[in-house]
Chains A and B, each alone.
Chain A
Amino acid sequence: MTSTRTGTRPVDPSTAPGRARRATGPPRWADPRIGLLLVVLVLGAVFAALRPSFLDVDLTLVPMQADIAVFVVVGLAQLAVLALGHMNLAVGRMAAVSAFTAGLVHDRLHAPLLVGLLVALAVGALVGALAGGIITATGVNSFVVTLALDFGLLGLVAILYDRFAGGVAFATRPAGMDVLRSDTLNDYCAGPVCGPPVPLVVPVVAVVVVLVAVFFRCGRVGREMLMTGSNRTAAVMSGIPVGRRTVQAHALSGLLAGLAGFLLAVADGAFSASIGEQFLLPSFLAPVLGGTLLAGGAVSVLGTVLGATLTAVIGKGLNLLEVPVDRLQVFVGVVLLVALSLDRVRHVVAARREVRS
């Protein structure tokens, strides 16, 4: 719902070129990514000074990379619809449905891990496309549609696990899942040279990050999604099939949510009904911290990676400092609020610059 933003201020023509410029090459002073990188480094140093175990490879760094990998994909799932100025409140449940189908095809058909992954991605994309289709067909706000979808899927996932898994998780898991979970590149050696201590999922996610970045930077469909988010009327006038782009963006969001669900299942070691329950807040945290606008029209994939990294560093650091979970929730909420306020400040400053120049 962008009414608070556009409703209180009449249409502000100066923001549209500002957004477009930030999407291609942001001015240095407005780039949140540099500040984010500094914050990550400073916080990392502080945590390392307070708890030397923060730099312990096996205890902290390897699990943290796996966490970051999941958070990045969750953030990208939200970013795909934020490009339109939409929201996907059902990211978590789309991930849960996808993970369920991946577990089901293994449990019933003994499908290998890769087939499970492909099925999960397809199901996620389908559910996302369904959400996008409803939004396009009815013109209802995206958050209402995805919220209602989230409620429906919440019940569906629990029922499906109850019926097909006989509980809250599948007892079986495909071969290779444990390897994917516990092995790092360090376990694979070519002669005397071994890889760095990086979990196997990280290269996979890195490829996804590059693909999404290229999609929004160079891909025609991605650019058209951004234009739709920046100014829908202008996009329609330019002959962009706005409805189709909306469905595609939501399908992409569902696909990435499915991937995130699969990755979390790998990290947890089981396809369970609780997958995705904690996705909603991080899904907004990572892109918004990284400078993606909630109003649509500008995305920052690299910023999302850094935002996810910051979230994971804070989470792990406070965990090592033995901060209780409830206080951790308070910190995460405060970080999101601060990030949102900064987003607003950037927006105002960018608009002023635009007017002056």
Chain B
Amino acid sequence: MTAPTRAAPRRTEPVLAGLAVVAFGALAATTGGNLLEPGTLRAVFAYLAVPIVIGLAQMVTLAVGQLNLSVGVVTGLCAMASAGLMVDGRWSPWVAVPAALALGAGVGLGNGLLVVATRINGFVVTLATMSIISGVRYGIHGTGTYENYAPGLVAAGRAGVLGVPTVFLAAVAVAGAVALYFAHTVSGRLLLASGGNPLAARLSGISNDRSVVVAHTLSGLLAGVAGVLVLALSGSVNASIGDDLLLPSFAAPIIGGVALTGGAVAVPGTCLAAFVVRLVDVARAQYDINPRWIDLVVGAVVLGAVLLSQNREPR
């Protein structure tokens, strides 16, 4: 395919950072300081955690030139399964939370193995598994809601350190780990090599198949993390969780400057883009705008970001 755009993220991130600051300032000024109230500010960042992690989950598969349509439903599945284990199985959160992460990673591993075994486009494979997982997700507890699964976990999720929500800190920690993984570990570099130029990677003795499996497993694991964050954040979960996460999962990395052809990641860009999208959502709430405008605006911005990144690329 085309050459990786390594230059793109470097130019995108300062622009996004500037945009985020300007948008935040404008929003704070026009809402008469309402945005700067401690409660509002905490909500802005608490609900930023899941978009960041879900964007990273998508970014990991984009890094090897794949897609994962099932991130949203895996998030819902992990949240529901974990809550089910805690409520119906009376498991301790100390066991149920790692179980959710393992489930996410396992589902991702299954996706990766299917992509490698069938040699079919990852998009179509994850479309099929998305349908399967969505069915399983509803199979756990029907349309019912789980509540009071782990008071300690929810209390921890709603608490904060120096006013900063713990879920947001957790998301930032995850983002830092992902950034380190891609920048400094052999496994992460191998993923980028496979994504950047599969033929060159293969000639260098890298197994592209292994990279695809690893990327999908990591993507599933991060979706599991997002599921745990949902558990900690909301206090009650039902099977519809994850239905509205597909667009955010693509919006954050694409706007953040991640090359869709693979081979380059942009962790700060993805986080900043998630923040900008979150600000759009906050603006909607503050100005009482039809929520559907968000989809339209974000969709248009994603399309614009794709076109821009393509123009930058020497063809």
Identify the A interface with B (CB < 8 A): 1-5, 7-8, 10, 87, 134, 138-141, 143-145, 147-156, 158-159, 162, 280-281, 284, 288, 294, 324-334, 336-337, 340-341, 343-344, 347
Q: When the two chains form their complex, are residues B123 and A1 in contact, meaning their CB atoms are under 8 A apart?
A: yes
Q: When the two chains form their complex, are residues A159 and B128 in contact, meaning their CB atoms are under 8 A apart?
A: no
**What are 14 inter-chain pairs, A to B, with CB distance below 8 A?**
A2-B121, A3-B198, A4-B122, A5-B121, A8-B198, A138-B306, A139-B315, A147-B250, A336-B124, A336-B131, A337-B114, A340-B124, A341-B118, A344-B120
Q: Which residue of A lies closest to B300 (CB)?
A: A152
Q: Which residue of B lies closest to A93 (CB)?
A: B299
User: A347: shortest Cβ distance to chain B, in Å?
Assistant: 8
Identify the B interface with A (CB < 8 A): 1-2, 65-67, 114-115, 117-125, 127-139, 142, 198-199, 202, 208-209, 212, 247, 250-251, 254, 260-262, 290, 292-300, 302-303, 306-307, 310-311, 315
Q: When the two chains form their complex, are residues A134 and B307 in contact, meaning their CB atoms are under 8 A apart?
A: yes
Q: When the two chains form their complex, are residues A138 and B121 in contact, meaning their CB atoms are under 8 A apart?
A: no
* Contact partners of B307 in chain A: CB under 8 A: 134, 138, 140
Q: When the two chains form their complex, are residues A138 and B302 in contact, meaning their CB atoms are under 8 A apart?
A: no
User: B247: shortest Cβ distance to chain A, in Å?
Assistant: 5
* Contact partners of B123 in chain A: CB under 8 A: 1, 87, 143
* Contact partners of B125 in chain A: CB under 8 A: 337, 340
Contact A336:B128 (CB < 8 A) given known A3-B1, A134-B307? yes
* Contact partners of A332 in chain B: CB under 8 A: 131
> For the complex, would chain B's binding face be called helix, strand, loop or mixed by DSSP majority?
helix
* Contact partners of B115 in chain A: CB under 8 A: 4
Report Cα–Cα, A79/B298, bound state, in Å: 28
Q: When the two chains form their complex, are residues A4 and B121 in contact, meaning their CB atoms are under 8 A apart?
A: yes
Report Cα–Cα, A150/B198, bound state, in Å: 29
Most buried by A among B67, B128, B136: B128
Q: Which residue of A lies closest to B311 (CB)?
A: A138
Report Cα–Cα, A159/B297, bound state, in Å: 12
Report Cα–Cα, A333/B125, bound state, in Å: 9
* Contact partners of B134 in chain A: CB under 8 A: 326, 329
Q: When the two chains form their complex, are residues B295 and A281 in contact, meaning their CB atoms are under 8 A apart?
A: no
Q: When the two chains form their complex, are residues A1 and B65 in contact, meaning their CB atoms are under 8 A apart?
A: yes
Report Cα–Cα, A330/B300, bound state, in Å: 32
Q: Which residue of A lies closest to B123 (CB)?
A: A143
Contact A155:B293 (CB < 8 A) given known A8-B209, A134-B307, A148-B299? yes
Q: When the two chains form their complex, are residues A151 and B121 in contact, meaning their CB atoms are under 8 A apart?
A: no
User: A157: shortest Cβ distance to chain B, in Å?
Assistant: 8
Contact A8:B292 (CB < 8 A) given known A1-B67, A330-B132? no
User: B295: shortest Cβ distance to chain A, in Å?
Assistant: 3
Contact A159:B292 (CB < 8 A) given known A4-B115, A149-B303, A329-B131? yes
Report Cα–Cα, A288/B128, bound state, in Å: 12
Report Cα–Cα, A331/B128, bound state, in Å: 10
Determine which of B127, B247, B260, B310 lies in contact with A151 in the assembled complex, contact meaning CB atoms within 8 Å.
Answer: B247
* Contact partners of B199 in chain A: CB under 8 A: 7, 10
- Known contacts A150-B299, A294-B124; 13 further A-B pairs (Cβ under 8 A): A1-B65, A5-B119, A7-B65, A138-B307, A139-B2, A141-B261, A148-B302, A159-B296, A326-B134, A329-B134, A329-B135, A337-B118, A337-B125
Report Cα–Cα, A320/B98, bound state, in Å: 40
* Contact partners of B306 in chain A: CB under 8 A: 138, 140, 144-145, 148
Contact A152:B303 (CB < 8 A) given known A158-B292, A159-B293, A336-B131? yes
User: B132: shortest Cβ distance to chain A, in Å?
Assistant: 4
Report Cα–Cα, A276/B306, bound state, in Å: 25
Report Cα–Cα, A10/B262, bound state, in Å: 19
User: B199: shortest Cβ distance to chain A, in Å?
Assistant: 7
User: A14: shortest Cβ distance to chain B, in Å?
Assistant: 16
Most buried by B among A140, A145, A343: A140
Q: Which residue of A lies closest to B70 (CB)?
A: A333
Please list the 9 inter-chain residue pairs (A to B) with the smallest Cβ-Cβ separation, ordered nearest first.
Answer: A155-B296, A155-B295, A151-B299, A152-B299, A329-B135, A333-B131, A326-B138, A333-B132, A330-B135
Report Cα–Cα, A333/B251, bound state, in Å: 25
Most buried by A among B115, B121, B137, B261: B121
* Contact partners of B122 in chain A: CB under 8 A: 1, 4
Report Cα–Cα, A281/B306, bound state, in Å: 24
Report Cα–Cα, A162/B120, bound state, in Å: 39
Report Cα–Cα, A149/B123, bound state, in Å: 16
Most buried by A among B123, B125, B134, B298: B123
Q: Which residue of A lies closest to B251 (CB)?
A: A151
Contact A328:B67 (CB < 8 A) given known A145-B306, A159-B293, A340-B125? no
User: A83: shortest Cβ distance to chain B, in Å?
Assistant: 16
* Contact partners of A328 in chain B: CB under 8 A: 135
User: B156: shortest Cβ distance to chain A, in Å?
Assistant: 31
* Contact partners of B251 in chain A: CB under 8 A: 151
Report Cα–Cα, A35/B141, bound state, in Å: 37
Q: When the two chains form their complex, are residues A148 and B303 in contact, meaning their CB atoms are under 8 A apart?
A: yes
Q: Which residue of A lies closest to B294 (CB)?
A: A155
Contact A330:B119 (CB < 8 A) given known A138-B307, A151-B295, A159-B293? no
* Contact partners of B117 in chain A: CB under 8 A: 341
Report Cα–Cα, A133/B306, bound state, in Å: 14
Most buried by A among B132, B199, B299: B299
* Contact partners of A347 in chain B: CB under 8 A: 119
